[in-house]
């Protein structure tokens, strides 16, 4: 039995990606927890942006909505959604965290439908701000459980752009240059994308799992870094701050 | 103008700026009294088949009272801008008020989970859908507000979201870079909930504006629900605080708690227990029917709905939560 | 010696054109005086818009700048220039008043250069908001002294669109449909535009002048309405309100 | 994308959004102290050859102190956005600071008349000119702020203003209507005068915003001059009042009376006598030279300039005029 659960691990690893002084566009839940943890550990000057217009708040607790009052608590500005998205469109926002029901080997995401579009098995929320953030922010990160029903060969619907068909296809598509998926963080592994093919690649595996676990829980072939590291687990300090200061009511880490 | 690529779904509203101008040409600019009962405002300005856009963001500063009234009056065949539509969409889906929708964010209530009612209705085949994104819908409103037929953007490219939209891709004549063009969206009617308004429709609100300023400017008719009416003298004391001017507005309805059970910044936080009740009861068709009878059809107005769910003491506790009093030492 | 000067006459005639409940986009000087006079006589509900962002103020005195504090005194809104112009672009603004160094038979205006563009005799301010207002507002009106150096055969520079080359040329140009020059008000006459050719046409002549005076002071051929009226001069009430309430310091009417 | 028609003058700034993004990618987002002396701010962030845009409207909330400092430091070969440029342009023309200009409104001081100095300089052949309109320049800034290479509009058509611009006309692929496309404008540096700012660059101002919000968002570097510094605690007390957030700003300079002799809404009205003095003295080259020596070059800062022209008692009378005290019974 580990000292932490899957969600605590993913949030901690995500927080470590956010260097001090960077800007991050976040939604509710895990992404918000990761940004808060980063602010309370390595990155006090991390600037948090909410798509609904909340700019750089001092989050008193976990917001329930990306537009609720917590997102403007002691914020420097309460702005419009268009202006918030235009900070991203202009290149001011470094990171964003996204999720989705399905992800493919190029980091494209589906949050629109499961099954056929016209007669869906499940109708999901659609893009929301995900397509916007993934198009405009410099680096897109994904936090999601490692599961072969999520890591699929082919998406039922490509809601949000990753590296599209790989190679230079994203560059050719017309999306802003220099943007794209950066890291995929799961309970079992951390993956990036091989620079040429833009295919998903394992770079580290979580303690308690091996490569085979990761590959078994993915429906497409994963590339592997020459030297795959073991993921450095959450420290006691990281866990304490996450549990006591970031999410005391266990809204996110309780799950 | 060579179109490189285009979405294949239906464009519900005509983006022709001259037709939109022709409508505004005929709209009164007089600063006349517009306060009225919400029941009358919905009866007068919301029609079957109209394209509707709801202000706010999800369950934040959303005109929930107006959504209930639209369902009570059994409006049908409407178009809907599914612009971060969460609890508002849940209500309108319960009434099967709309049968075509521009989707940006639908079905979900953010961290709270998915609405069975909204989901089932969208999956029923009764609703025609076109896909967009949150920013794209805001831009489409902005285009109408600017009096042009489209605005360019660099999102949506390379995705099925684009393929199932009605957007078009062209090459910029200055840079040769691809740009997605989004067609203007001028809703027939929009409803926006604000903190303060005068009887002429000059409005103030605090906190995020989301897309409400673009929406108020883009819409042919605008219904305002306000936490409270204030004097025009107060509006004129500081015109820098006005977010929506009177000439855009058709009706002003004073509805205290009009965003309940959603959040109204600085006034009251969302009633998470009641929103959870919605999400659970939805799953049982029969129970949901009774729930709707009790909470919508048997209530003559929002005051009764709030009373039914805790009344003044509930609103006091939500105010305390909004103000974070539970965190004070 | 008349009871009023040329400026007082033009302002009064202009004010009469502004029906109650209309919207008008104005600049400083005479146009502003005309709008104020209209509000204090026939059109209390006239809505005044300033291009810099002042919306529906209670003007305490004549503004010196279209962006000075008087333009937001007891206004309903202090907005941005883009939003102000977009009210016009959306078809919310009925009238605007413009001037210019030169005007042609189709009501096109020049406020950019006198002489050659590259080596101008005189460099003037350029469009400012004039081209915007004349493109977007439904009806453009011009107040200017009748003078053959102003009413020219050919403009040195077409800064602001009137009926362009006449006929349906404005419609074909792409400018918003249904917009265009409405009335030209001078010290000697009031002119409109013949519906087919869109050429300038005399409809009334001021007391103390005859047709010949008007034609002598215009470098192009003016059309004439079948029954040309004599302009109804300013009433004592109009003059009193203009002199005592609108422009007591004679900023405008003093000239 | 077929271009039907286009202006023939020079486009001074590259509208490529990826190049503008690349710049912002490297700009610090940290909330660090930025207050400094205006002299240092201009020396550090305004360079010969930079494209400059001045905030405010004509002589209203215009950073006059910064214009004087730019002339004092004898900046040259700059580009200028002649966006309702009145007294600011008069000052910059006196210093022959710029040699290319995008014109919307220039040379004039509105009802006050034309500036001989600005006129002569534009007529001298030393300045390259491209024509636009007030709204068009605001839209060009908005395009850069939105991260796109152009925005559409329906003005300028059928005129020499269009022919002498760098705009292009195309047909809308949704409506087949003609639209004028305006290229994005991202100034190298802009200077905006505000009522209140904190040391990090979070800004508030009252009254009309003109194009300052678009400008702050579009500009690669932003210098703020403020009537007074306020605490960040005060900024965070009401984030709805913030007009410009810190991350756009490079320098914050406290300059009381920084818009003098222009108007600062709610603080002081314009000094019409002194502005008239400018317009008269300009006509005599020798007198004007002495006037500039006395009012700009021999002043080490704006405080000395104000002192030279009436000091505190002058500012008190302009405050009384701004507040309309002369109208009180």
pLDDT for position C29: 87
Q: How many angstroms away from the CA of A150 is the closest CA of chain B?
A: 18
Q: Do D157 and C64 touch (CB under 8 A)?
A: no
Q: Supply B203's token pair.
A: 């409005």
Q: Do D247 and A86 touch (CB under 8 A)?
A: no
pLDDT for position D322: 97
Question: Does the N-terminal peptide bond of residue D261 adopt cis geometry, omega within 30 degrees of 0?
Answer: yes
Cβ-Cβ contacts under 8 Å, C136 against chain B: 147
Q: Do A76 and D239 touch (CB under 8 A)?
A: yes
Q: Choose the closest CB to B84 out of A128, A173, A251.
A: A128
Summarize pLDDT for B92-106 with one digit per residue, the tens.
Answer: 999 999 999 999 999
Q: Do B149 and D177 touch (CB under 8 A)?
A: yes
Sign of CA dihedral A92, A98, A102, A107: positive
Query: Which C residues in the span 17-36 are in contact with B, Cβ-Cβ below 8 Å?
Result: 20-23
Q: Which of A50, A82, A154, A254 to mutate to test the interface with B (most CBs of B within 10 A)?
A: A82
Q: Using CB atoms within 10 A of its CB, is residue C69 exposed (0-12), middle (13-18) or buried (19+)? A: buried
3-class SS of residue A34: helix
Cβ-Cβ contacts under 8 Å, B247 against chain C: 23, 47, 92
Q: What angle do CA D290, D291, D293 make, to 5 degrees?
A: 60
Q: CA-CA distance, B101 to C42, in Å (whole number)?
A: 46
C51 labelled catalytic: yes
Q: Using CB atoms within 10 A of its CB, is residue C237 exposed (0-12), middle (13-18) or buried (19+)? A: exposed
3-class SS of residue A103: strand
Confidence at D1, pLDDT banded by 50, 70, 90: low
Summarize pLDDT for D255-313 with one digit per residue, the tens.
Answer: 999 999 999 999 999 999 999 999 999 999 999 999 999 999 999 999 999 999 999 99
Nearest residue to A115 (alpha-carbon basis) of A64, A141, A152: A152
3-class SS of residue A136: helix
CB distance A69 to B269 below 8 Å: yes
Q: Supply B17's token pair.
A: 């700026």
Q: CA-CA distance, D88 to D260, in Å (whole number)?
A: 11
Q: CA-CA distance, B205 to C252, in Å (whole number)?
A: 40
**Interface size, chain C vs chain D, as Cβ–Cβ contacts under 8 Å:** 192
Helical residues (DSSP H) of chain B, grouped into ranges: 17-26, 38-45, 64-72, 87-94, 116-123, 134-145, 160-163, 212-218, 232-237, 272-281, 285-292, 302-308, 311-322
Question: Does the N-terminal peptide bond of residue D269 adopt cis geometry, omega within 30 degrees of 0?
Answer: no
Reply yes or no on whether the pLDDT at A251 is more than 90. Answer: no
Q: Do A53 and B208 touch (CB under 8 A)?
A: yes
Q: How many angstroms away from the CA of B28 is the closest CA of chain A?
A: 28
Reply yes or no on whether the pLDDT at D100 is more than 70. Answer: yes
As a whole number, mean pLDDT of residues D94-100 equals: 98
pLDDT for position A68: 94
| Helix axes of D116-123 and D87-94: crossing angle, nearest 10 degrees | 60
User: What residue of A is the nearest CA neighbor of D16?
Assistant: A176
Q: Does B17 touch chain C (CB under 8 A)?
A: yes
pLDDT for position D26: 97
Distances (CA, A) of A213 to A35, A155, A188, B166: 28, 22, 8, 42
Cβ-Cβ contacts under 8 Å, B202 against chain C: 76-77
Report yes or no on chains C and B touching (3+ CB pairs under 8 A): yes
Q: CA-CA distance, C52 to C58, in Å (whole number)?
A: 16
Q: How many angstroms away from the CA of A29 is the closest CA of chain B?
A: 7
Q: Using CB atoms within 10 A of its CB, is residue D149 exposed (0-12), middle (13-18) or buried (19+)? A: buried
Nearest residue to B322 (alpha-carbon basis) of B227, B198, B238: B227
Q: Using CB atoms within 10 A of its CB, is residue C118 exposed (0-12), middle (13-18) or buried (19+)? A: exposed
Q: Do A22 and D147 touch (CB under 8 A)?
A: no
Residue A96 host element (H or E): strand A95-98
**Interface size, chain A vs chain D, as Cβ–Cβ contacts under 8 Å:** 86
Reply yes or no on whether the pLDDT at C255 is more than 80. Answer: no
How many CB atoms neighbour CB D256 within 10 A? 17
H, E, C per residue of chain D? CCCCEECCCCCCCCCCHHHHHHHHHHCCCCCCCCECCHHHHHHHHCCCCCEEEECCECCECCCHHHHHHHHHCCCCCEEEEECCCCHHHHHHHHCCCEEEEEECCCCEECECCECHHHHHHHHCCCCEEEECCHHHHHHHHHHHHCCCCEEEECCCCCCHHHHCCCCEEEECCCCCCEEEEEECCCCCEEEEEEEEECCCCCEECCCCCECHHHHHHHCCEEEEEEEEECCHHHHHHCHHHCCECHHHCCEEEECCCCCCCCEECCCECCCHHHHHHHHHHCCCHHHHHHHHHHHHHCCCCHHHHHHHCCHHHHHHHHHHHHCCHHHCC
pLDDT for position B1: 67
Cβ-Cβ contacts under 8 Å, A83 against chain D: 217
DSSP string, C176-219: PTT-EEEEEE-SSEEEEE-TTT--EEEEEE-TT--HHHHHHT-S
**Catalytic, out of C51, C230, C238, C244:** C51
As a whole number, mean pLDDT of residues D137-155 equals: 98
> Which residues of A are the active-site residues?
51
Q: Do D177 and B147 touch (CB under 8 A)?
A: no
Q: Does C83 touch chain B (CB under 8 A)?
A: yes
Q: How many angstroms away from the CA of B301 is the closest CA of chain D?
A: 31
Q: Choose the closest CB to C76 out of B21, B148, B236.
A: B236
Confidence at C125, pLDDT banded by 50, 70, 90: very high
- Per mean pLDDT, which range of A248-252, B261-265, C149-153 is the poorest? A248-252
Per the DSSP assignment, residues forming a β-bridge with C184 are: C142, C191
As a whole number, mean pLDDT of residues C134-157 equals: 97
Q: Does D271 touch chain C (CB under 8 A)?
A: no
Q: What are phi and psi of C18, to 5 degrees?
A: -95, 95
Q: Supply B288's token pair.
A: 């949901």
Q: What are phi and psi of B322, to 5 degrees?
A: -60, -40
Q: How many angstroms away from the CA of D50 is the closest CA of chain B?
A: 22
Confidence at D329, pLDDT banded by 50, 70, 90: confident
pLDDT for position A27: 84
End-to-end distance of chain D based on CA atoms, in angstroms? 64
Cβ-Cβ contacts under 8 Å, C123 against chain D: 106-107, 119, 122-123
Cβ-Cβ contacts under 8 Å, C29 against chain D: 111
Query: Mean pLDDT across chain A, nearest whole number?
Result: 96
End-to-end distance of chain B based on CA atoms, in angstroms? 64
Q: CA-CA distance, B72 to B59, in Å (whole number)?
A: 20
Q: Do B154 and D147 touch (CB under 8 A)?
A: yes
Reply yes or no on whether the pLDDT at B259 is more than 80. Answer: yes
Q: Using CB atoms within 10 A of its CB, is residue B308 exposed (0-12), middle (13-18) or buried (19+)? A: middle
Summarize pLDDT for C53-89 with one digit per residue, the tens.
Answer: 999 999 999 999 999 999 999 999 999 999 999 999 9
Query: Which B residues in the span 281-320 are in contact with C, Cβ-Cβ below 8 Å?
Result: none
User: What residue of B is the nearest CA neighbor of C176?
Assistant: B18
Sign of CA dihedral A185, A186, A190, A193: negative
Reply yes or no on whether the pLDDT at A1 is more than 60. Answer: no
Q: CA-CA distance, A181 to D50, in Å (whole number)?
A: 35
Nearest residue to B224 (alpha-carbon basis) of B257, B200, B188: B200
Determine the distance from the C-alpha atom of residue C204 to the mean position of all C-alpha atoms in its chain, rounded to a whole number.
17
Per the DSSP assignment, residues forming a β-bridge with B190 are: B53, B222
Reading across the β-sheet that carries C180-185, which strands appear in turn?
C77-78, C54-55, C47-50, C23-26, C95-98, C139-143, C180-185, C189-193, C200-205, C223-230
Cβ-Cβ contacts under 8 Å, C181 against chain D: none
Q: Does A85 touch chain D (CB under 8 A)?
A: no
3-class SS of residue C98: strand
Q: CA-CA distance, C159 to D179, in Å (whole number)?
A: 18
Q: Do B111 and A251 touch (CB under 8 A)?
A: yes
> Which position has the token pair 């949506």?
B156
Query: Which D residues in the span 144-203 are in contact with C, Cβ-Cβ below 8 Å?
Result: 153-161, 164, 169, 177-180
Q: Do C28 and D60 touch (CB under 8 A)?
A: no
CB distance B178 to A174 below 8 Å: yes
Q: Choose the closest CB to A174 out of B111, B164, B169.
A: B169
pLDDT for position D177: 97
Q: Which of C86, C91, C139, C175 to mutate to test the interface with B (most CBs of B within 10 A)?
A: C91
User: What residue of A is the nearest CA neighbor of D144?
Assistant: A90
Distances (CA, A) of C185 to B134, C18, C203, C210: 49, 13, 10, 15
Radius of gyration of chain D (CA): 20
As a whole number, mean pLDDT of residues C184-197 equals: 98
Contacting partners of chain D (3+ CB pairs under 8 A): A, B, C
Confidence at B329, pLDDT banded by 50, 70, 90: confident
Summarize pLDDT for D25-80 with one digit per residue, the tens.
Answer: 999 999 999 999 999 999 999 999 999 999 999 899 999 999 999 999 999 999 99
Q: Do B269 and A68 touch (CB under 8 A)?
A: yes
Has the ipTM of the complex gone over 0.90? Answer: yes
Nearest residue to D154 (alpha-carbon basis) of B152, B173, C88: C88
CB distance C203 to C229 below 8 Å: yes
Confidence at B327, pLDDT banded by 50, 70, 90: confident
Nearest residue to B102 (alpha-carbon basis) of B120, B121, B83: B83
Q: Which of D34, D198, D219, D236 to mutate to test the interface with A (most CBs of A within 10 A)?
A: D236
pTM, two decimals, is 0.98
Q: Do D146 and A86 touch (CB under 8 A)?
A: yes
Q: Choose the closest CB to C64 out of D107, D209, D272.
A: D272
Q: How many angstroms away from the CA of B45 is the closest CA of chain C?
A: 19
Cβ-Cβ contacts under 8 Å, D139 against chain C: 82
Q: CA-CA distance, A136 to B43, in Å (whole number)?
A: 42
Summarize pLDDT for C2-22 with one digit per residue, the tens.
Answer: 799 999 999 999 999 999 999
Residues 6 or more apart from C243 whose CB is under 8 A from it? C8, C250, C253
As a whole number, mean pLDDT of residues C33-41 equals: 96
Q: Do D22 and A91 touch (CB under 8 A)?
A: yes
3-class SS of residue A54: strand
Q: Do B265 and A72 touch (CB under 8 A)?
A: yes
Q: Does C161 touch chain D (CB under 8 A)?
A: yes
How many CA atoms are closer than 13 Å to the CA of D104, on its beta-carbon side? 26
CB distance B63 to B56 below 8 Å: yes
Q: CA-CA distance, D52 to D80, in Å (whole number)?
A: 5
């Amino acid at each position: 039995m580990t000292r932490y659960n899957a969600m605590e691990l993913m949030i901690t690893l995500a927080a470590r990606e956010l260097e001090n002084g960077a800007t991050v566009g976040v939604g509710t839940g895990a992404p918000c927890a990761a940004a808060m943890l980063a602010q309370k550990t390595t990155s006090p000057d991390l600037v948090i942006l909410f798509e609904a217009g909340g700019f750089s708040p001092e989050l008193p607790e976990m917001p329930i909505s990306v537009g609720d009052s917590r997102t403007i608590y002691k914020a420097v500005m309460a702005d419009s959604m268009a202006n918030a998205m235009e900070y991203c469109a202009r290149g001011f926002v470094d990171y964003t965290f996204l999720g989705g029901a399905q992800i493919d080997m190029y980091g494209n995401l589906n949050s629109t439908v499961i099954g056929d579009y016209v007669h869906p098995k499940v109708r999901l929320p659609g893009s929301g701000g995900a397509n916007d953030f993934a198009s405009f922010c410099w680096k897109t990160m994904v936090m999601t459980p490692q599961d072969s029903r999520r890591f699929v060969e082919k998406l039922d619907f490509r809601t949000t752009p990753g590296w599209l068909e790989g190679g230079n296809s994203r560059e050719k598509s017309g999306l802003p240059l220099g943007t794209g998926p950066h890291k995929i963080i799961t309970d079992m592994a951390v993956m990036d994308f091989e620079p040429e093919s833009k295919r998903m690649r394992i770079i580290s595996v979580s303690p308690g799992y091996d490569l085979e676990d990761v590959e078994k829980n993915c429906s497409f072939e994963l590339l592997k870094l020459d030297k795959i590291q073991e993921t450095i687990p959450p420290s006691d300090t990281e866990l304490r701050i996450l549990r006591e200061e970031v999410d005391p009511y266990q809204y996110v880490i309780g799950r | 103008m060579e179109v490189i690529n285009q979405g294949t779904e239906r464009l519900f509203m005509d983006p022709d700026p001259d037709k939109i101008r022709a409508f505004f040409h005929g709209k009164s600019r007089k600063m006349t009294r517009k306060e009225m009962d919400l029941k009358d405002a919905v009866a007068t300005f919301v029609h079957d088949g109209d394209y509707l856009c709801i202000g706010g963001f999800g369950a934040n500063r959303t005109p929930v009272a107006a959504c209930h009234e639209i369902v009570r009056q059994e409006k049908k065949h409407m178009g809907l801008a599914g612009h971060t539509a969460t609890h508002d969409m849940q209500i309108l889906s319960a009434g099967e008020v709309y049968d075509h929708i521009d989707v940006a964010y639908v079905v979900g209530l953010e961290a709270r989970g998915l609405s069975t009612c909204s989901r089932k209705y969208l999956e029923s085949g009764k609703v025609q859908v076109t896909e967009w994104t949150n920013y794209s819908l805001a831009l489409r409103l902005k285009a109408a507000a600017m009096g042009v037929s489209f605005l360019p953007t660099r999102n949506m490219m390379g995705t099925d979201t684009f393929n199932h939209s009605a957007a078009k891709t062209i090459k910029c004549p200055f840079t040769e870079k691809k740009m997605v063009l989004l067609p203007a969206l001028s809703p027939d009617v929009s409803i926006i909930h604000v903190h303060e308004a005068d009887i002429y429709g000059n409005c103030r609100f605090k906190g995020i504006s989301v897309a409400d300023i673009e929406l108020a400017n883009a819409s042919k008719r605008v219904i305002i629900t306000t936490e409270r009416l204030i004097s025009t003298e107060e509006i004129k004391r500081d015109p820098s605080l006005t977010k929506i001017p009177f000439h855009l507005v058709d009706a002003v309805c004073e509805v205290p708690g009009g965003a309940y059970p959603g959040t109204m910044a600085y006034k009251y936080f969302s009633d998470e227990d009641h929103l959870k009740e919605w999400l659970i009861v939805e799953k049982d068709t029969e129970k949901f029917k009774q729930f709707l009878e009790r909470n919508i059809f048997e209530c003559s107005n929002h005051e009764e709905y709030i009373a039914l769910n805790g009344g003044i003491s509930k609103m006091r506790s939500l105010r305390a939560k909004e103000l974070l009093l539970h965190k004070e030492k």
